[in-house]
Structure 1
Amino acid sequence: MSRFRRMRSLQKFASVHSSVHNHFNHQRNIDSRARFKLLCDAALLEWRELLAA
């Protein structure tokens, strides 16, 4: 938090970071490697589609 000069910029960063982190954060220890890779690939594809729009 010390790197942010204003609380508003910290809040902006935290809200964007949390949505991106939640989108890409998959529980590796719960799923098999094949399912984990499938979920990561799907998340990356969706992210690229969002950025292209």
Structure 2
Amino acid sequence: MTGENLNLLSEINQLAFIIWGKEDRALDVSSIEVFEAHLPQSQSHIMEGVGHAP
């Protein structure tokens, strides 16, 4: 994601649930931390053995 898109995430004032596949090749699982930082009202879950599109 670009910096501009990340700033847009910060404008979301709703609860969010982030689901990430641990084997994601499009966006590394470490990217979840960036999403969590920009979506303060979020919870997240990393799915084992799953890629980008389960």
TM-score range, shorter chain: under 0.3
Larger radius of gyration: 1
Which has more helix, going by share of residues?
A: 1
Which has more strand, going by share of residues?
A: 2
